[in-house]
Amino acid sequence: MKKTDDKSLQIKLEYEISEILRADNGVYAAFDYHINISSSEQTVKLNLLTYNPKHQDYMLFHTVLGNSSIDCLQKMLTYLEEHQKKPVKYSFTITWSKRGNNQKHRSYFRAASESIALEKFFHEKNPDDYEWSIEMNPLT
Segment 72-93, tens digit of pLDDT? 999 999 999 988 788 778 899 9
Residues 99 and 135 in one domain: yes
Counting the structural domains of the chain, the total is: 2
Domain, as residue range, for 2: 1-86
Quote the pLDDT of residue 39. 72
Quote the pLDDT of residue 49. 98
Residues 2 and 54 in one domain: yes
At 56, is the secondary structure helix, strand, or coil?
coil
Quote the pLDDT of residue 38. 79
Residues of the chain where predicted confidence (pLDDT) is lower than 70: 1-3, 140
Count of residues making up the chain: 140
Q: Please state at what angle helix 3-25 crosses helix 69-85, rounded to 10 degrees.
A: 30
Quote the pLDDT of residue 2. 64
Listed in sequence order, the residues at least 6 apart from 29 whose beta carbon sits closer than 8 Å to its beta carbon are 14, 17, 18, 21, 22, 48, 49, 50, 51, 61
